[in-house]
Chains A and B, each alone.
Chain A
């Protein structure tokens, strides 16, 4: 795990492509992270599955999902760009559907299944999307990349062989301030095996 992540970090702009959930390793399955709750704020204990691990944890009712992921579970692969549902950097899958984790409260995740960028690779085996993103130089600065990957994952889950137009439509909810949109589309097409020969960027 460590080795491949190192290699990839060196190989390119891997930072956004492979997020390694170091703090999760070796942690008891349902061990709650140590959230720092304000003493008088309403709190709720929720049970949810994150990247295949069942967890039970106490959250403040006002916490957003992305806050819990980043600040309390150290799953910092999910980024915050705008915190207003306007950029897509925080995209994760909830019950298989892409949503903005900045625009969901964590208490609403009770009983749900959340997949983040940290759960995309199968052990040391990268998801075909991650491989394609590397091969097609999809990220530039990489900030939007984990969100782009999760949006693409949701798209291919529901439409494994999308057309270029469908990829573009499926990724409209993810801004890239480096404006590397064409490479992202090529990478998704390649991962889906729908890239026409000669169509590579």
Chain B
């Protein structure tokens, strides 16, 4: 591996200052994404700012009506946390379906939402948008796992399993910069490639994610994360559905549905949410929700299979989340 320096900051502010002062420095959480990119020479930082050294930033706690998750909380601890499993099932299930036990033990929630795309052109150092170039090789190339929504100019799919769950739960991200803090809704944090095709979100150079907060779900809320893989484990979602439903018996009062594996950002589907709101869950409604979810899909040459897969997955995820055996 290339020569580099590891620094151990004492606070997020110190970390942000180090990052702001040195453009060749990068933040690192568990390292499970960053070290692979380093070894492949996709990235070449001179300094790693080891956020684990800050200490005490991995807590999962309730403050009043809000769940607070420290940026360094591991996916394993989130997936096993009793309250998260009970009240925020979609997040526990998403975290628990990431990769393997070893990656969940190392991987942090901040690193999970910040991980870079797993597009094979990017990871194989093609000079694409993500590597600072000005093209997306998937458009005319091997695009089996690429976007069917929101693509262009880059057609990556956002790789995080927890990001769609966080967007569906209305989470907020707390961010530390060199000169202060800011807060942003998870839904606004992720940015389509039209904003900046080299990036996936609005985190600026010199900023770090410090905490994620989630409001208590409304009474009767049920949720689930459905992840479809091309093998049984250890890989990213081909298609994923984060569904959060506010239920009253068989009646769905309101819904948030966010997809993974299909777009360059966690892909919220308001049209699906609207046809569910105020309706009884029936087989017919679920069929229509599945149809709505794929409306406007624009598959590339090799990923049209995602359309029927998504249609069926949305239907199945909504059925599971609702608890109604329609």
| B202 located at the interface, meaning its Cβ lies under 8 Å from any Cβ of chain A in the complex | no
Complex alpha-carbon distance, A6 and B100, angstroms: 34
| B105 located at the interface, meaning its Cβ lies under 8 Å from any Cβ of chain A in the complex | yes
- Which interface class (under 10, 10 to 19, 20 to 34, 35 or more) fits A? 20 to 34
| A119 located at the interface, meaning its Cβ lies under 8 Å from any Cβ of chain B in the complex | no
Q: Is the CB of A41 within 8 A of B6?
A: no
Given the complex, which residues of B lie within 8 Å of A100, measured CB to CB? 32, 102-103, 106
Chain A 15-52 interface mask (CB, 8 Å, partner B; 1/0) = 00000000000000000000000101110100000000
Q: Is the CB of B105 within 8 A of A97?
A: yes
Q: Is the CB of B1 within 8 A of A151?
A: no
How far does the Cβ of B116 sit from chain A's closest Cβ, in whole Å? Answer: 14
How far does the Cβ of B58 sit from chain A's closest Cβ, in whole Å? Answer: 12
From 81 to 126 in chain A, residues with beta carbon under 8 angstroms from any chain B beta carbon are 83-86, 88, 91, 97-100, 102-105, 107-108
From 16 to 52 in chain B, residues with beta carbon under 8 angstroms from any chain A beta carbon are 31-32, 35-36, 39, 48, 50, 52
Instruction: Indicate whether A173 sits within 8 Å of B76 (C-beta atoms), given known contacts A41-B3, A64-B35, A97-B105.
Output: no
Instruction: Indicate whether A172 sits within 8 Å of B2 (C-beta atoms), given known contacts A84-B39, A99-B106, A100-B106.
Output: no
| A61 located at the interface, meaning its Cβ lies under 8 Å from any Cβ of chain B in the complex | yes
How far does the Cβ of A40 sit from chain B's closest Cβ, in whole Å? Answer: 8
Q: Is the CB of A104 within 8 A of B5?
A: no
Given the complex, which residues of A lie within 8 Å of B82, measured CB to CB? none
Given the complex, which residues of B lie within 8 Å of A128, measured CB to CB? none
| A154 located at the interface, meaning its Cβ lies under 8 Å from any Cβ of chain B in the complex | yes
Complex alpha-carbon distance, A108 and B101, angstroms: 19
Instruction: Indicate whether A107 sits within 8 Å of B6 (C-beta atoms), given known contacts A84-B36, A99-B106.
Output: yes
From 53 to 76 in chain A, residues with beta carbon under 8 angstroms from any chain B beta carbon are 60-64
Contact of B101 among A40, A62, A172 (CB under 8 A): A172
How far does the Cβ of B25 sit from chain A's closest Cβ, in whole Å? Answer: 13
Given the complex, which residues of A lie within 8 Å of B52, measured CB to CB? 108
Q: Is the CB of B36 within 8 A of A151?
A: no
Q: Is the CB of B99 within 8 A of A62?
A: no
Q: Is the CB of A108 within 8 A of B76?
A: no
Complex alpha-carbon distance, A88 and B99, angstroms: 12
| B233 located at the interface, meaning its Cβ lies under 8 Å from any Cβ of chain A in the complex | yes
How far does the Cβ of A39 sit from chain B's closest Cβ, in whole Å? Answer: 11
| A142 located at the interface, meaning its Cβ lies under 8 Å from any Cβ of chain B in the complex | no
Instruction: Indicate whether A173 sits within 8 Å of B99 (C-beta atoms), given known contacts A42-B4, A62-B4.
Output: yes
Residue of A60, A98, A155 contacting most chain B CB atoms (<10 Å): A98
**20 A–B contact pairs at CB < 8 A?**
A61-B4, A62-B3, A62-B4, A84-B39, A85-B32, A97-B105, A99-B102, A99-B106, A100-B32, A100-B102, A103-B103, A104-B106, A105-B6, A105-B48, A107-B50, A151-B101, A154-B101, A155-B101, A169-B101, A173-B99
Binding site for A on B (CB under 8 A): 1-6, 31-32, 35-36, 39, 48, 50, 52, 76, 99-103, 105-106, 232-234
